[in-house]
Amino acid sequence: MHSSTIIYFFLTIVIILSQPQPNVPEDTVKLTFLKEKGNDKTLQKGDSIHVTYDEYMITFNSEDFKEGEEMYFKIKAEEYAFYDYEGYDGIYYQYIDGDHGYDERSLMFTKYQFKTNFEYINDIKYKIQYFTIKKNKNEFRGTNGNLLLIYFMIDYGFVEITNTLEDEGKLKTWEIVLIVIACVLVVAFIIIYICYRRKKELAMANAGNGQAYGTDQYGQYNQPYPPAQYQY
């Protein structure tokens, strides 16, 4: 090979490498690559997906949901793997596509619903939380709204995320009734306890006053006798 050919070859390599590369985050490349139906890394309608805590994100195929429709989910992990402080008591989400990648500044947040369930698997206690995302066109960020990124925050272990066809996190009527009854009983107990304590304190105060003024067992004041030297 001639020296001129070798020089030309190396110059070509240098020119290619020096060309500006598309500014696409690695996470976006991975996530947008997973958008095809049937891919086991993209959650499909009515299905579940299993990941590890350190994957942090999944994608959900939301094309079968209409704009304005609610999408229901549940997430399961070990009980103490969930964070319980503000800003971590839910999930973040955003819509993405090949032209609109993951942008941390545009994440939306939704809190877990009030209802919480537990489940034992091989003597390990798992916690189940529920959340709802409404397919809102104002949040599409220029996408068609068919691919939803879900950013979850779990401290360790395995994570299962399920798209439920119904709102399983919604409290049933009998559950609401039980909660109301329990609240009424607690309030009633507190009122009774406060009244009891107040009555007891008043009784003790009256008893103390009676001893100071020399009342007898019938509550009548006793006249004190003068000292013997002053008696006639």
pLDDT given for residue 183 in this prediction: 67
Beta-carbon contacts of 151 under 8 Å, excluding residues fewer than 6 positions away, are: 56, 57, 91, 92, 93, 107
Contact 88, 96 (CB under 8 A): no
pLDDT digits (tens, 9 = 90+) for 66-122: 999 999 999 999 999 999 888 899 999 999 998 999 999 999 999 999 999 999 999
Q: Are 122 and 172 in contact (CB under 8 A)?
A: no
pLDDT at 214: 55
Spell out the residues 6+ positions from residue 173 whose beta carbon is closer than 8 angstroms to its own: none
Which of 74, 160, 73, 169 lies closest to 121, judged by CA? 160
pLDDT > 50? residue 9: yes
| Domain ranges for the chain | 23-173
Interval 169-180 mean pLDDT: 57
Residue 133: both structure tokens together = 């995302």
Give the strands of the sheet with 90-95, arranged side by side. Answer: 42-43, 57-61, 147-151, 90-95, 108-111
CA gap 52, 188 in Å, rounded: 46
Binned at pLDDT 50, 70 and 90, residue 32 comes out as very low
pLDDT given at position 139: 96
Choose the most confident range, by mean pLDDT, from 41-45, 151-155, 220-224: 151-155
What's residue 88's pLDDT?
Answer: 92
Please write the tens of the pLDDT for every residue from 35-69. 444 445 799 999 999 999 999 999 999 999 999 99
50-55 contacts, C-beta under 8 A, 24 or more apart? 50/158, 50/159, 50/160, 51/158, 51/159, 51/161, 52/157, 52/158, 52/159, 53/77, 53/81, 53/154, 53/155, 53/156, 53/157, 53/158, 53/159, 55/159
Cα atoms in the 13 Å half-sphere on the side-chain side of 98: 3
Q: Residues near 52 by Cβ (< 8 Å), separated by ≥ 6?
A: 157, 158, 159
Which of residues 28 and 185 earns the better pLDDT score? 185
